Structure 1
Amino acid sequence: MSDGNDDNPVQTSTKQMKEIIAEEVGKAIEGSLSGFIDNIQGTVLSLVEERVKRLEDIVNLMKEKTGERKGCSYKEFMACKPPIYNGEVDPIICQRWLGDIEGVFERTHCDESDFVAYGTGQLRGQAKDWWDNKKNEIGAEAVRAMTWEEFKTPFLKHHSPKAVINKIKEEFMQLRHKGETIDKITAMFMDKMKFSSELVTNEEQKIYYYYNMLSAEYREFMTPSKYETLTKIINVAREREIELKKQVERGERRAHDVNPSPTKKARTGESGKKVDAKGGSPSCKV
């Protein structure tokens, strides 16, 4: 006989079973829902990626039909008037051409895959002969795959040989101001300094070499330790050049003292030698 309490083992067991079933059903629904959501996300992402790829294919196809290409066209490249190189075996001319042509690449946003084709189109004379021979040597396929850096290596080896660079270094150390204008001698100094990087590792050394290169008329009014940059001492040299010209105009200094002619100096030396050889003054022709 029941006393009113829920102590019936059958009822208790049924209740527990319901709770267990409800919990398991909940877990099943939750797991199914999670998997369902993942499936939906995967399907949506797949559809989006497929649609994007289709759009890219359509855009690329339209570009091909309209002649549009990545980077600049050859016509746009040539519109910037890229420099021509004739094949001088001169490191200064050679590397200046490389710098100028690379500047055009940058300004026109040229694609790297076109560097070699566009750049070598500006070779003329001996430079073109060298390139034609190089193409035959490595083959058409290697030429198409060649990068600009791979082109520059043999190009510099042929047109900017080490022996010539060493000669420029010697000329840099021996460079002296002999009547040239400051702008002209400065240009010579800067060109040769590019190949003497191990001699001029800082601004102080640049100033030192520049100062020692100048003639006495300039050095006597300049103190290299006063200048912090090469640009400053160059500007002071220009100012001194203007002052020397004014002195010549005022008659305070002879033009020969400011801009001595190496040719005249050599002739004077030769005349002196002839007079000494004869042991007296030259004969009068009048």
Structure 2
Amino acid sequence: MQSIPAPLPPPPPRVDRKVVKLFLDQKPPTFDGMGEPAKAETWVRALERIFRTLVCNDAEKMICVMHQLTGSADFCWDTKLKTMSQDCVDEMTWEDFKTEVYDKYVPKSYRKAKASEFHNLTQGRLSVTEYDRALCDMTRYAPEQMDTDEKLADKFREGLRYEIRMALAVRGTLTYAEELALALDVVAAMPKERSAGKHYASTTPATP
């Protein structure tokens, strides 16, 4: 007599409720859809950091993010879901959701203006440290042009003040970290009247 094979165990649930609880324990920020585009960007990045820590799958991410929508954003997303088929709702990924958020709350016109601002960014009257921070903060608006250390180093060097840029040029090819360190050393070695921005209309010394 042929034995009957044992039934296969049920597939594991798509959502681990423990992960959702751990997510909420992190006290993630909420989003109400109000304010500047940067607020939406900051919210998405904050959630992504938590998701990376918890190693969430897409289904868990979507359950978690629903807890964090409030006010106008909550109503808008509820309306959006009503226009979608159930299959599309069930198959939605975190990347799909981010695209929806960016299209609505971080308009292309804003991203285009920021990309232009990034391309035109130079040190000017900023200190080297301030210029470095501004540059790194804005790379997200031109990711395809800043996807290697070499490209980032080139952009950093090209935007430096002339005397600092010339000091770096004689050193040949450097990494971004090496260029930043050398630029700070150059400023520290400059006479006070030069490093204070004598060539610019400012009476406040620029600090590295």
Tell me how far 1:217 sits from its aligned partner.
Answer: 3.9
The answer as to 2:78 corresponding to 1:132 is no
From 82, 91, 94, give the equivalent of 1:148: 94
Contact 1:71 1:110 in 2 (8 A): no
Relative CO higher for 1 or 2, CA cutoff 8 Å, sep ≥ 6? 2
Gaps of 5+ in 1: 1-38, 61-68, 264-286
The equivalent of 1:97 in structure 2 is: 43
Q: Offset at 1:203?
A: 4.0
Partners of 1:153 and 1:221 in 2: CA distance: 43
SS at match of 2:168: coil
TM-score, structure 1 length as denominator?
Answer: 0.56
Q: Which residues of structure 2 form unaligned runs of 5+?
A: none
Instruction: Calculate the TM-score normalised by the size of structure 2.
Output: 0.73
Contact residue 165 and residue 195 of structure 1 kept, 8 A: yes
Tell me which residue corresponds to 2:202.
261
1:108 aligned partner: 54
Distance 1:189 1:224 in 2: 23
The letter for the 2-side match of 1:240 is V
> How many residues are paired up?
199
Say if 1:179 and 1:258, in contact at 8 Å, map to a contact too. Answer: no
Contact between 1:203 and 1:228, CA under 8 Å: does it hold in 2?
Answer: no
Cα distance in 2, alignment partners of residues 262 and 195 from structure 1 = 33
Aligned to 1:191: 137
Q: Distance in 2 between matches of 1:78 and 1:210?
A: 39
Task: Identify if the C-alpha distance between structure 1 residues 193 and 112 changes in structure 2 by more than 3 Å, giving closer, same or farther.
Answer: closer
Give the Cα–Cα distance (whole angstroms) in 2 for the partners of residues 216 and 101 of structure 1.
41
* CA distance in 1: counterparts of 2:195 and 2:181, whole angstroms: 23
- Report the residue type matching 1:257 in the other structure: K
Closer, same or farther: CA 187–77 of 1 in aligned 2, 3 Å: same
Q: Distance in 2 between the 1:133 and 1:72 partners? A: 28
Structure with max Cα Rg:
1
C-alpha distance 82-137 of structure 1, shift in aligned 2 (>3 A):
closer
Structure 1 residue runs of 4 or more that deviate by more than 6 Å after TM superposition: none
Deviations 1:167-212 (A, max 9, x none): 1121112112133232322121122222223444654433222112
Query: 1:233/1:164 Cα in 2 relative to 1: closer, same or farther (>3 Å)?
Result: same
Q: Percent identity?
A: 19
